[in-house]
């Protein structure tokens, strides 16, 4: 399978079912959340700061276990699986902020992205070659420390490292945070390309206009609870009102 | 001035001692650099392993080189168990709690060592390692030479492992960003356990090569902890090659200080060096640059 042709028909639905979660004993960040990430679609999660957007991604990726409720991938309950086990099932996460391993070379970053192929060196090399083919700009940086890359180059490496195992579901957290407007456009161009390829994406971003523009379906959260959800078309007319509402929260 | 007596011999002694110091410090550096854990029990483990090694060689009469292997293996398993029982259990606790836990482990190990071996100073019977090689006016202790070579070989082997293998890259990646290491599918808990166990095994290894070159007793671990920290601070966290260089520097300084100053001042020079290093890097260990291992 080439990196540009993803088997979307096999991608299962990822769901949060009545999930309540928090980081500390008496702390509830998400309360009775329901969310559904449809195969081959972009689902955006919006909301004010502290509404639980990134936490919902962390629950889906396995970094935070739900206190109650379930995380379902297709018909399978994956609530108890750790992030590595979820990645093996095709759920990959691109975290917010810089996430390259700065002191490792670009090539080593890609190798670690393909860590789950470590027992099959040929498959690992083929996966790296596919990513270099997809992002040719990486070719000239392969032996450079990832920490020396520019913001845009580092973001490309992060996309490559996340896509290297051809995951069935991509969880993308605040992809435009800390980037210049020009680079934000490039990041969204790349995400549009992923959408055109039929990838399944759950996107969290403060950049509301861009996130809604890319989405097929939108969820909004407030105070850790479901607020609104619906198709993108239903949201486009009410964005200004929503943003004003969030700013007042 | 006698060139050999006043310069080359102390330089050689210092370099040999430095190779041993590198071996003593690398476990501390690895655990601190990768896992961000201040293992205060590092040299208590080292001395305990040295005493066990002494027991096997001196009392049981077993081969001093071969006996390094079982001692290191036993402490690797001890490290695995300690990680499972203590480190993993405290993984979400504060740094202070973790430091206190290792302080407790240090006290426990020292107490057990005193119960078993008393506070007597022990000297390893060197056997065939007790020879001295004479090259003109130069005298080279075979035991010091072997201990230094073992220290250097282990440090270089660790450096190659960390920089040339995929698992080494994973360890370095985990040191740089544990969350992202988890995201790419690395089992951080398991890898951390192996790294911790390796750090403890390196401490035990340090104990065996220390036993070849110095007499020691169960209460001396605090002095060696200062030595190990000095080497780690000089070398930078987690860098095995720099740890080796730092060990050599400390060894050479100690050797020349011992030659030029009364014996009592030798330790003062090295403690002063430690104090200066902490002052120069004025936020203490937190400001030590973390490098690629």
Q: What is the pLDDT of residues A24-37, one digit of tens each?
A: 877 889 999 999 99
Backbone angles phi, psi at B164, to 5 degrees: -115, -5
Beta bridge partners of A203: A44, A172
Q: With 0-12 CB in 10 A as exposed, 13-18 as middle and 19+ as buried, what is B129?
A: buried
Task: Say how far apart CA B100 and CA B264 lie, in whole Å.
Answer: 32
pLDDT tens by residue, A65-107: 999 999 999 999 999 999 999 999 999 999 988 899 999 999 9
The DSSP code for B94 is -
Backbone angles phi, psi at A20, to 5 degrees: -120, 130
Position B282 scores a pLDDT of 47
Position B281 scores a pLDDT of 63
Position A4 scores a pLDDT of 39
CB neighbour list of residue A97: distance below 8 Å, 6 or more residues apart: A174, A177, A178
Exposure letters A100-126 (e unless 16+ CB within 10 A, then b): bbbbbbbbbbbbbbbbbbbeeeeebee
Position A247 scores a pLDDT of 64
Overall pTM surpassing 0.90 (yes/no): no
Q: Are A90 and A43 in contact (CB under 8 A)?
A: no
Instruction: Supply the mean pLDDT for chain A.
Output: 88
* ipTM tops the 0.90 cut: no
Residue A108 in contact with partner chain B when CB distance is under 8 A: yes
Which residue of chain B has the CA closest to A64?
B179
Q: Sort out which chain A residues have CB atoms less than 8 A from B180's CB and list them.
A: 95, 99-101
Which residue of chain B has the CA closest to A102?
B176
Nearest to A103 among B176, B184, B186 (CB): B176
- In 3D space, the residue among A42, A34, A39, A40 whose CA is nearest the CA of residue A74 turns out to be A39
Q: Sort out which chain B residues have CB atoms less than 8 A from A92's CB and list them.
A: 183
pLDDT interval class at A248 (50, 70, 90): low
Which residue of chain A has the CA closest to B178?
A101
The three-class DSSP label of residue A73 is strand
Q: Are A160 and A110 in contact (CB under 8 A)?
A: yes
Indicate the Cα dihedral angle A83, A89, A90, A91, nearest 10°.
-30
Which residue of chain A has the CA closest to B187?
A84
Nearest to A99 among B177, B187, B291 (CB): B177
Task: Say how far apart CA A100 and CA A117 lie, in whole Å.
Answer: 19
Q: Are A191 and A212 in contact (CB under 8 A)?
A: no
Position B53 scores a pLDDT of 96
Residue whose pair of structure tokens reads 């540009």 in the numeric block: A4
**Which stretches of chain B drop beneath a pLDDT of 50?**
282-293
Least confident range of A41-50, A186-195, B2-11? B2-11
Nearest to B182 among A84, A102, A116 (CB): A84
For residue B4, CA distances in Å to B8, B23, B24, B266 come to: 5, 27, 28, 21
Distance from CA of A18 to the nearest CA of B (A): 24
Q: Are A49 and A204 in contact (CB under 8 A)?
A: no
Q: What angle do CA B250, B253, B254 make, to 5 degrees?
A: 85
Q: Tell how strand A200-204 and strand A42-46 pair up.
A: parallel
The DSSP code for A12 is P
Distance from CA of B199 to the nearest CA of A (A): 21
If residue A123 lies in a helix (H) or strand (E), which one and from where to where? helix A121-134
Residue whose pair of structure tokens reads 């390259």 in the numeric block: A100
CB contact under 8 A, A112 and B177: no
């Amino acid at each position: 399978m080439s990196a540009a042709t993803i088997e979307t028909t096999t991608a299962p639905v990822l769901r949060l079912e009545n999930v309540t979660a928090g980081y500390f004993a008496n702390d509830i960040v998400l309360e009775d959340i329901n969310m559904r990430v449809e195969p081959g679609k972009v689902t955006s999660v919006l909301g004010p700061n502290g509404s639980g957007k990134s936490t919902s991604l962390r629950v889906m990726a396995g970094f935070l276990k739900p206190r109650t409720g379930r995380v379902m991938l297709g018909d399978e309950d994956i609530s108890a699986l750790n992030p590595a086990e979820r990645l093996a099932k095709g759920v990959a996460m691109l975290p917010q902020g810089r996430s390259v391993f700065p002191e490792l070379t670009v090539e080593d970053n890609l190798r670690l992205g393909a860590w789950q192929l470590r027992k099959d060196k040929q498959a690992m090399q083929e996966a790296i070659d596919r990513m270099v083919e997809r992002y040719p700009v990486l070719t000239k940086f392969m032996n450079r420390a990832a920490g020396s890359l520019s913001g845009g180059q580092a973001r490309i490496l992060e996309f490559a490292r996340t896509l290297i195992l051809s995951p069935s579901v991509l969880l993308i957290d605040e992809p435009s945070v800390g980037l210049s407007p020009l680079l934000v456009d490039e990041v969204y161009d790349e995400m549009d390309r992923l959408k055109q390829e039929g990838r399944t994406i759950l996107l969290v971003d403060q950049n509301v206009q861009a996130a809604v523009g890319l989405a097929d379906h939108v969820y909004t959260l407030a105070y850790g609870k479901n607020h609104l959800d619906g198709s993108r078309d239903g949201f486009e007319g009410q964005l200004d009102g929503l943003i004003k509402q969030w700013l007042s929260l | 001035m006698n060139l050999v007596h006043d310069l080359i011999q102390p330089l050689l002694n210092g370099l040999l001692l430095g190779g041993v110091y590198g071996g003593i410090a690398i476990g501390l550096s690895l655990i601190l650099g990768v896992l961000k854990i201040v293992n205060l029990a590092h040299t208590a483990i080292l001395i305990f392993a040295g005493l066990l090694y002494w027991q096997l060689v001196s009392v049981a009469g077993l081969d001093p080189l071969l006996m390094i292997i079982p001692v290191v293996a036993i402490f690797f398993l001890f490290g695995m168990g300690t990680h499972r029982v203590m480190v993993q259990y405290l993984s979400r606790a504060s740094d202070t709690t973790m430091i206190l836990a290792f302080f407790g482990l240090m006290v426990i190990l020292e107490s057990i060592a005193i119960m078993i071996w008393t506070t007597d100073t022990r000297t390893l019977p060197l056997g065939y390692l007790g020879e001295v090689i004479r090259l003109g006016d130069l005298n080279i202790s075979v035991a010091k030479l072997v201990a230094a070579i073992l220290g250097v070989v282990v440090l270089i082997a660790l450096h190659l492992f960390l920089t040339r293998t995929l698992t080494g890259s994973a360890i370095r990646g985990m040191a740089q960003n544990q969350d992202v290491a988890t995201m790419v599918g690395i089992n951080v808990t398991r890898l951390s356990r192996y790294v911790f166990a390796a750090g403890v095994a390196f401490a035990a290894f340090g104990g065996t090569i220390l036993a070849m070159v110095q007499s020691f007793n169960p209460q001396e671990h605090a002095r060696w902890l200062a030595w190990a920290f000095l080497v780690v601070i000089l070398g930078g966290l987690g860098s095995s090659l720099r740890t080796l260089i730092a060990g050599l520097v400390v060894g050479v300084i100690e050797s020349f200080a011992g030659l030029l100053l009364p014996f009592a001042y030798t330790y003062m020079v090295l403690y002063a060096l430690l104090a200066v290093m902490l002052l120069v890097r004025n936020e203490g260990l937190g400001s030590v640059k973390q490098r690629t291992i």
